[in-house]
Amino acid sequence: MTPSVNIQSSSYYDFIADSYDELYKEEQLEKVKIVRTLIKPRPKHWLLDIGSGTGLSSCSFKCYKVGIDPSLKLILRSRILSILGQAEHLPFPNHSFDYIISLTAIQNFKDIDKALRECKRVAKPNAKVVISCLKKSRKLHHISTLLTYYFKVLIKVEQDKDIIWLLKPK
């Protein structure tokens, strides 16, 4: 009998944690290639990965990095320092991060508006923020509208399955 899971809940990701990288590695690494052309953190910089999962999206950056994810089982498999938490309640001081990334996670946030306010709060004034969203998400228009409200869009890239934004806090 297959367990019933809600795809947007952390229990879904807990359920697939053991096979997460196998399921998403190739797809995530394609996005990371694009992200690496958009941002260039230096060793002294701080990077926050929101919805970090196993840390696959941020582990190759040569800087201080921390992830946050609501799935305990993914956190336990993380390649980077990660904490259990949600995008809507980032446990960091104001203006803490030089770079923030969130790849293919925003459409799963419970309160996208609050999460983006938190993202802006913890970003340094000249921070670079990279967010991607599934093109097929029903929330895409809403997300795009909120992104342009809170951030200045520097670059927008259409990838195979995602739209990737390079942003700067307004």
User: Is it the case that residue 6 has pLDDT exceeding 70?
Assistant: no
Query: Tokens at residue 128, please?
Result: 């670079």
- Measured N-to-C along each axis, helices 112-122 and 140-150 cross at an angle, to the nearest 10 degrees, of 30
Query: Tokens at residue 24, please?
Result: 């998403």
Task: Say what the pLDDT of residue 73 is.
Answer: 85
In terms of CATH architecture, what is 10-169? 3-Layer(aba) Sandwich (3.40)
At CA 158, angle to CA 131 and CA 34, rounded to 5? 60
Mean pLDDT (whole number) for 84-108: 96
Task: Say what the pLDDT of residue 25 is.
Answer: 60
Q: 12 with 30: CB under 8 angstroms? A: no
Gap between the Cα atoms of 35 and 138, Å rounded: 23
Strands of the sheet containing 64-69, edge to edge, are: 82-84, 64-69, 46-50, 97-102, 123-134, 162-169, 151-158
Tell me the domain boundaries of the chain. Answer: 10-169
Gap between the Cα atoms of 56 and 59, Å rounded: 6
Per-residue pLDDT tens over the stretch 120-136: 999 999 999 999 999 99
User: Is it the case that residue 9 has pLDDT exceeding 60?
Assistant: no
